[in-house]
Structure 1
Amino acid sequence: MSIRDIMTRDVQIVGPNESIRKAAQLMDQLNVGVLPVCDGEKLVGMITDRDITVRATSAGMAPDQCKVSEVMTTEPRYCYEDDPVNEVSRLMGGQQIRRVPVVDRDKRLVGIVSLGDLATDAKDERTVESALEQISTPSEPDRT
């Protein structure tokens, strides 16, 4: 089974030059905590509600003046639509990420796959259990 069989299609995106207020409003409307950041059809980053809170709000950045590009994760982990589910599950577990953008071979965004997609649609329960266990392992603080 490949990721295209379980991914979510028709993903909403935000542009890198949009304000973080717009990104937060879109997250609220869609009831999601992450948005792919695309320049045209090309994936250039990911922004999460946590990015907005930790990288912008805690630093006192104004939501209307701060651009998505200032706080997004650049060079996000991604997978190809024809990648096997178990390979993407290992990526998610190893990197402790709950959502992975899915691109075609021209690196255009075609979907997103989440831990929830794996849990509800993947046939191999052990693959899902392993990813969940690794993702849920507490990580070390990124500051000292």
Structure 2
Amino acid sequence: MQKVSEVMSTDVHVISPDATIEEAAQEMRDGDFGLLPVAEDEDEQLLGVITDRDIAVRAVAEGKDPDTSVGEVMSEGVIWVEEDDSIEDAAQIMSDHQIRRLPVVDADKRLVGIVSLGDFAVDSADIGPVAEALTDISSPP
């Protein structure tokens, strides 16, 4: 059984809830990723996440200014996976919640990485659960 810790990205950028959505969008652009965990600092527990979709739907589409705080548009109630969970469990969580990326936490619920469906597809010998999760995520609720 392959663990999430074996395929996750550990180069995780965290953004403050007080940062602006412009700063978040620039960091996403520069790092080529679509999700930023939101925390007061890297050693704190997660407050939420902000995605490129949050910026588009909750900010731009609502006419908010680029200096709007991340905290105003972030997604709360973070769904995460533990680093020792199997990739099949992570794929099921993604499928159940129709999301493509998950923060990864350790036993103390501290952020240690991010895992995406792409990570599973590249590093997994058994792509079945990943294909099923992608199908479920891509299907309308």
Aligned to 1:117: 119
| Paired-residue identity, % | 46
RMSD: 1.0
Letter in 1 for 2:11: D
Q: CA deviation at 1:91?
A: 0.6
Instruction: Give the aligned partner of residue 142 of structure 1.
Output: none
Give the 4+ runs in structure 1 shifted more than 3 A. none
> In 2, distance between residues paired with 1:43 and 1:122?
27
State the TM-score, normalizing by the size of structure 1: 0.91
- What secondary structure sits across from 1:100 in the alignment? strand
Give ranges in structure 2 of 5+ residues lacking alignment: none
- 1:26 aligns to 2:27 (yes or no): yes
Q: Which residue of 2 aligns with 1:60?
A: 63
- Secondary structure (helix, strand or coil) at the match of 2:61 reads helix
Give me the whole-angstrom Cα distance separating, in 1, the residues matched to 2:55 and 2:7: 28
CA deviations on 1:8-37 (whole Å, 9 max, x unpaired) are: 102111111101110011011111111111
Partner residue, 1:108 = 110
Distance 1:131 1:86 in 2: 9
Q: Could you say which structure has the higher strand fraction?
A: 1
Structure 1: gaps spanning 5 or more residues? 140-144
Q: Residue 140 of structure 2: SS of its match in structure 1?
A: coil
- In the TM superposition, residue 57 of structure 1 has moved relative to its aligned partner by 1.3
TM-fit CA distance, 1:55: 0.6
**Alignment length (residue pairs):** 138
**Aligned partners of 1:110 and 1:78: how far apart in 2?**
11
CA deviation string 1:48-90 (max 9, x = no partner): 11111111112221111x1101000011100110111111111
- The residue number in structure 1 matching 2:78 is 76
How far, CA to CA, are the matches of 1:103 and 1:96 in structure 2?
19
**Aligned partner letter, 1:49:** D
